Chains A and B, each alone.
Chain A
Amino acid sequence: MRIELLLNGEKHLVEVQPPELLLDVLRETFGLTGAKPGCRNGDCGTCTVTVNGWPMKSCLMLAAEASGQAVVTVEGLGDADIQQAFVDKFAFQCGYCTPGFIMNIHALSSKHPQADEATIRDWLQSNICRCTGYEEIRQAVVSVLEGKVKGM
């Protein structure tokens, strides 16, 4: 079937199989391998992208369901504050979980620029990082949110 994807700001017409996951179409059709498979079961968040600005695990969405919606992957971020914050705060080691965290936090900072600790905790529960103790990730989130709040 043919779907229309608004992917990283560009419109694409693409042929997909009905059971194909958004994750696989992103990776295989578009070569956007920033979205990573970690479980294909919704458990780990390494495949997180945004759909209409909300974080979405791309292994839990069929490509067909994404038709007509705005999908952004880590490759489409340009340079978001959170990317620099991750570098500054040493918020990754192996980097495999990083695109997923970044997309999640990027959405968080635009949906809840004044997020409190509880909201941050809630949102970040969906992603696993096996390398860090999450402390550096927390610092990166906080620094971005503080930057946002100051900028308003």
Chain B
Amino acid sequence: MKAIGRSVPKKESFDKVTGVAMYTADKVEARMLHARLALSPYAHARILSVDTSEAKQVQGVKTILTGDVSDVLIGEEIRDRPIIAREKVRYYGEVVAVAVADTEAAAKRAAELIRVEYEPLPVVNSPVDALRQDAPILHDKLGEYENEGRAVPVPGTNIASVNRLRKGDIDKGWKESEMIAENTVWFMPSDHAAMETRSATAEIRPDGYVVIDTSSQVPFTVKKYMANYFGIGSGWIVVQTPLVGGAFGGKSAIFLEPIVYLASKAVGGRKVKIVLTREEDMASAPVRIGLHATVKLGSTLDGYIKAAHITYRFDGGAYNDKSSDVAKAAVIDCSGPYGIPNLACDCFTLYTNHGFAAAFRGYGHSELTFAMERAIDALADKLGMDPWELRFRNAAVPGDTAPTRDLLTPSNLGDIKTCLNRLKILSEWEGWQVRQIDAYRIRAKGISCFWKNSSMDTDASSGAIILFNPDGSINLETGVVEIGTGTKTVLAQILAERMRMSPERIHVKLTVDTRTTPEHWKTVASRGTLLAGRAVLKAADDAIRQLLDIAACVLRADPEDLVLENEKVFVRADPSVNIEVREICYGYVYPNGNAIGGQIIGRGHYIQRRMNPLNPVTGEGTPGPEWNVGAQAVEIEMDTRDCSYRLMKAISVNDAGKVLNPEGARGQVMGAMAMGLSFANREGFDYNEQGMVLNPTLRDFSVLRYDENPSYIVEFIETPCLDAPYGARALGEHGMIGMPAALADALSRAAGVRLNQLPLYPETVWRARMGYSHVFL
């Protein structure tokens, strides 16, 4: 009956294969109103006038909202973003007005009839542009914005935040270096493209409750910020989230909620629903961050890296949202999984006239890893050293310090060297790295190595409640949103293991309602298993204590002599004395009718110990609980005539700490690998010179389809993390982190030129081979 280490199917499996699984937009109510957005066709422009007269004539229209409706500025780090654009628009697709009507069709027609007059302004189209002396300034009031204190903006520039990190003595590091390699990489912002587009409803009840249903990873954050932004007591805000149809970080930003709230307020509190179209979801809603980065490495001739200087220029888009925090996460782990003694990192998060960046699966890590790994490959080239060997020599080990100066231990650091060793065998690295198949086709392999800590709020917490049913089964409630990762099922396994019962006897509540569900900080950072898992264990212990107490009365034994197993409580030394859990979990009734106890309710919470924020100048601090690590490889086959290529094989070796649900874990890693490959191979917004997005559809922004996938090899090693339930390390994001770098490495080897730009369209490879440089450099 082991619950841990078993491939328990997702609790919501049958809901999902029969179509009864409900997502936010599936709720249809007769009296609901519908909202549609009017979006800016310019990336940067002054709003001269907004004429809603024609739109208001459309039959069924209730109201039209423009920027005038609220002067509240929002943002989690810097409050720089109007809910509906005022005075200026700063990106293509920014919301300029909202139409609310009886039907979606009427709202759409009205939105189309809103006439906005603009005066176009020059655009900032890349982070490099943003730093130019003569760059147009996006936010002239940057110095006046409210700031949570974690971002360090530079008023009068386009710099939303500067973060620096210094470790060791960089000058000494350069002096000890006999070889220097410098490499620059870049890629444009791109999209999460979850299959469910974002949607939300809001209603203000007559008694004052604000009820929001939203397709979000962060219902508790929505509650907190709605309270802040609109001055509502947080108890009056109820946020509900059903199943979420893919999120990947994109649904951890607050975006639609304040819009529908204002819409509902404008129509006397009636329920208003908004569902984004795919085009809106891509162009208007938050995107994935872009990057331009330079990494300079210094090493000895035998490949020991002595110094690294990393410069990031992140394309955070028009508003800061979480981009400065994503950037900070990239600073925290800037060295990659290498024990580099002397480090300097300068990180600029820049305002550009692109969509604003939210979290994306990996939170800055596939970004930093691409920059660092490409530099490692450049160094290996210069040293004439095998890139695997160079990585192995420099792999961080317990006793080294992280860039944040945290001491690395066997518990807080996964085993990089074992991952690399397994990768070497699985990829047959020593056999060949590049080989000619026939006159035109070349096969090549590439590798990469990564680590990731999470960048959590220092008070990120999670809670769990367990309630017994009369049949002895348990209902489990946690604040983790089920976004597809199967975390709720894994939590049931964790609970079952502690309660010594079958996970099939645990019923999980799949939806979140912030009024009754215990808070879980955010369903991000692959931290559901650690934070909620620890809370569940505590709740289990709480319930076990109560069960043993009541069993002790009934069995007339000391609770310390009792054990729980298989839904029975036994006297340890004499198992013939026992009682079924179902006889005591709802109170025990004596034969004469007297009763004791009551429904057993267990509760638990967890907060990560001893974390502290980063010093913005030195980068010192404790950002998260542990560094999970892995090593990856990609094999491709390229046609040298046109540089088209196929993905043949992708390998990931991850240190999972402990695999709790093998099939689930494999699926998480494979899915993330596919996403990383898709990103590196073809994903990115195509901005024209005016900053307009030319490809906001799934036709033009294509993602990997069925037959484009390589064969996947996923292997886990298990070095337990002592803080985590059963030793399990984070897993949900890690399959993707090294994929772009490994793909670029393989293709570079096949093409014979160093490829540093994503996505790696065949044309990009061809241009590099022909020696054409990119327009943005």
Is the beta-carbon distance between A131 and B671 smaller than 8 angstroms? yes
- Known interface pairs A75-B19, A87-B17; A41-B697 also in contact (CB < 8 Å): yes
Query: Is B195 a contact partner of A38 (Cβ separation < 8 A)?
Result: yes
User: Would you call B705 and A125 a contact (CB within 8 A)?
Assistant: yes
* B703 touches A (CB below 8 Å): yes
- Contact status of A33 and B698, CB under 8 A, knowing A94-B243, A130-B703: no
Give the docked Cα–Cα distance between A67 and B586 (Å).
55
Within A81-137, the residues touching B (CB, 8 Å) are 83-84, 86-88, 90, 92-99, 102, 121, 124-125, 127-137
> Is the Cβ of B663 less than 8 Å from the Cβ of A31?
no
Q: Separation in Å of the B112 CB from the closest CB of chain A?
A: 15
User: A75 to B22, alpha carbons, bound, how many Å?
Assistant: 13
User: Among B478-486, B561-569, B589-597, which stretch is in contact with chain A?
Assistant: B478-486
Q: Are A93 and B486 in contact (CB under 8 A)?
A: yes
A56 smallest CB distance to B (angstroms): 16
Is A74 interfacial (CB 8 A cutoff)?
yes
In the complex, whether A34 has a CB less than 8 A from a CB of chain B is: yes
B194 at the interface (CB under 8 A from A): yes
Residues on B with C-beta less than 8 A from A28 are: 28
Cβ contacts under 8 Å, B17 to chain A: 74, 83-84, 86-87, 92, 95, 98-99, 102
A90 to chain B: which residues have CB within 8 Å? Answer: 7, 9-10, 663-664, 666-667
Cβ contacts B20-48/A at 8 Å (1 or 0 each): 11110110100000000000000000000
For A50, list chain B residues within 8 Å (CB). none
- How many angstroms between the C-alpha atoms of A90 and B663 in the bound complex? 7
| Distance between A51 CB and nearest chain B CB, rounded to angstroms | 17
- The segment from B156-164, B348-356, B706-714, B766-774 that touches chain A is B706-714
Most A CB within 10 A of own CB, among B247, B248, B664, B707: B707
Q: Is the CB of A95 within 8 A of B243?
A: yes
Q: Does B674 contact A (CB under 8 A)?
A: yes
| Contacts A27-B28, A93-B486; A39 near B698 (Cβ below 8 A) | yes
Number of interface residues of A (CB under 8 A): 50
**Most chain-B Cβ atoms within 10 A of its Cβ — which of A90, A94, A125?**
A94
Whether, in the assembled complex, B18 has its beta carbon less than 8 Å from a beta carbon of chain A, the answer is: yes
Which of these, A39, A41, A43, A94, contacts B246 with CB under 8 Å? A94
User: Judging by beta carbons under 8 Å apart, are B705 and A133 in contact?
Assistant: no
In contact, A33 and B22 (Cβ under 8 angstroms): yes
* Given contact pairs A99-B19, A102-B17, A43 touches B698 in the complex (Cβ within 8 A): yes
Min Cβ gap B250→A in Å is: 11
* A124 x B703 contact (CB < 8 A): no
B residues 444-503 near A (Cβ < 8 Å) are 483-486
B709 close to A134 (CB less than 8 A): yes
Q: Which of B10, B12, B15, B673 contacts A133 (CB 8 A)?
A: B673
B299 at the interface (CB under 8 A from A): no
Indicate if A46 sits at the interface (CB-CB under 8 A).
Answer: yes
Would you call B19 and A131 a contact (CB within 8 A)? no
Q: Which of B22, B278, B675 has the most CB of A within 10 A?
A: B278
Q: Which of B277, B667, B704, B712 has the most CB of A within 10 A?
A: B667
Of B10, B17, B705, which is in contact with the most chain A CB atoms at under 10 Å from its CB? B17
- In the complex, are the beta carbons of A44 and B698 less than 8 A apart? yes
Residues of B with C-beta under 8 A to A97: 195
User: CB-CB contacts of A36-62 with B at 8 A, as 1s and 0s?
Assistant: 111111011010000000000000000
Report the separation of the CA atoms of residues A64 and B176 in the bound assembly, to the nearest whole angstrom: 76
In contact, A125 and B707 (Cβ under 8 angstroms)? yes
Q: Is the CB of B7 within 8 A of A132?
A: no
Asked whether, in the complex, the Cβ of A93 is within 8 Å of the Cβ of B484, the reply is yes
Judge if B197 is at the interface, Cβ distance under 8 Å: yes
CB pair B705 A128 closer than 8 Å: yes
A-B contact number at CB 8 A: 158
Does B670 lie within 8 Å of A98, measured CB to CB?
no
A35, A38, A74, A133: which contacts B197 (Cβ < 8 A)? Answer: A38
A36 B709 Cβ-Cβ under 8 A:
no
Inside 8 A of B556's CB, which chain A residues have their CB?
none
Residue of B nearest to A19 (CB): B105
Q: Is B182 at the interface (CB under 8 A from chain A)?
A: no
Q: Say yes or no for B641: interface residue by CB 8 A criterion.
A: no
Inter-chain contact A39/B705, CB cutoff 8 Å: no
* CB of B341 within 8 Å of the partner chain: no
Instruction: For B707, give its contact among A32, A124, A130 (CB under 8 Å).
Output: A124
Docked Cα-Cα span, A44 to B246, in Å, equals: 14
Residues of chain B with a CB closer than 8 A to A36's CB:
23, 195-196, 245
Tell whether A77 is near chain B: CB-to-CB under 8 Å: yes
Minimum Cβ distance to chain B for residue A114 (Å)? 19
The answer to whether A130 and B19 touch (CB under 8 A), given A96-B245, A136-B667, is: no
Interface residues in A62-77 by Cβ distance below 8 A to B read: 73-75, 77
Nearest residue in B to A121 (C-beta to C-beta)?
Answer: B707
Contact between A41 and B28, CB atoms less than 8 A apart: no
List chain A residues, Cβ under 8 A from B12: 95
Q: C-beta contact mask, B226-265 vs A, less than 8 Å → 1, else 0?
A: 0000000000000000011111100000000000000000
B246 and A96 contacting across the interface, CB-CB below 8 Å = yes
Q: Is there an interface contact between B699 and A94, defined as CB atoms closer than 8 Å?
A: no
Task: Kindly state whether residue B688 has any CB partner on chain A within 8 Å.
Answer: no
Using a CB-CB cutoff of 8 Å, which residues 669-723 of chain B contact chain A? 670-671, 673-675, 697-699, 703-707, 709, 711-712
Q: Are B243 and A83 in contact (CB under 8 A)?
A: no
How far, in whole Å, are A121 and B19 apart by their CA atoms in the complex? Answer: 24
| Known contacts A90-B667, A130-B246, A75 near B484 by CB under 8 Å | no
Contact A133 B707 (CB under 8 A): no
Q: How far, in angstroms, from A136 to B671 measured CA to CA in the complex?
A: 10
In the complex, what residues of B have CB within 8 A of residue A88's CB? 9
B440 at the interface (CB under 8 A from A): no
- Are A73 and B673 interface neighbours, CB within 8 A? no
State the Cβ distance, B298 to closest chain A Cβ, in Å: 38
A40, B278: Cβ atoms under 8 Å?
Answer: yes
B265-279 vs A: 1/0 string, CB under 8 Å?
Answer: 000000000010110
Set of chain A residues within 8 Å of B666, measured between Cβ atoms: 90
Interfacial chain A residues near B485, Cβ < 8 Å: 93
Q: Across the interface, do B19 and A33 meet the contact criterion of CB distance under 8 Å?
A: yes
Nearest to A92 among chain B residues (CB) is B16
Name, among B247, B663, B674, B711, the residue most crowded by chain A CB atoms within 10 Å (CB to CB): B674
Q: How far is the CA of A37 from the CA of B196 in the complex (A)?
A: 8
On whether the beta carbons of A94 and B244 are closer than 8 Å, the reply is yes
> In the complex, what residues of B have CB within 8 A of residue A121's CB?
706-707
B671 engages A93 (CB within 8 Å):
yes
A136 to B670, CA, bound (A): 10
Known contacts A33-B22, A43-B698, A95-B16; decide if A133 and B484 are in contact (CB<8 Å): no
B712: which of A33, A95, A128, A135 is its contact (CB, 8 Å)?
Answer: A135
Please give me the residue from chain A that is nearest to B199 by CB atom.
A37
A89 to B: closest C-beta gap in Å: 8
Q: Which chain B positions have C-beta within 8 A of A102?
A: 17
How many Å lie between the Cα of A37 and that of B22 in the bound state? 13
Closest to A90 in B: B663
CA gap between A3 and B507 in the complex, in Å: 43
A23 to chain B, nearest CB (A): 12
Q: Which chain A residues border B697 with CB–CB below 8 Å? A: 39, 41, 43
Least distance between B334 CB and chain A CB atoms (Å): 29
Q: Does B193 contact A (CB under 8 A)?
A: yes
Please determine whether A74 and B18 come into contact, CB atoms closer than 8 angstroms.
yes
Q: Contact: A137 with B277, CB < 8 Å?
A: no
Chain A residue contacts of B664, Cβ below 8 A: 90
**B711 / chain A contacts, CB cutoff of 8 Å:** 135
Q: Which residues of A contact B25 (CB under 8 A)?
A: 37
Give B265 Cβ to nearest chain A Cβ, in Å: 26
Interchain CB contact under 8 A, B196 and A94? yes
Asked whether, in the complex, the Cβ of B20 is within 8 Å of the Cβ of A94, the reply is no
For residue B26, which residues in chain A have a CB less than 8 angstroms away from its CB? 27, 33
Q: Are A75 and B486 in contact (CB under 8 A)?
A: no
Enumerate the 5 nearest inter-chain pairs by beta-carbon distance, A residue then B residue, closest first. Answer: A34-B19, A94-B484, A96-B245, A95-B16, A93-B484
Can you name 14 A-B residue pairings with CB atoms under 8 Å? A28-B28, A41-B698, A43-B698, A74-B17, A90-B663, A92-B17, A93-B668, A96-B195, A124-B705, A125-B706, A131-B671, A134-B705, A134-B706, A135-B709
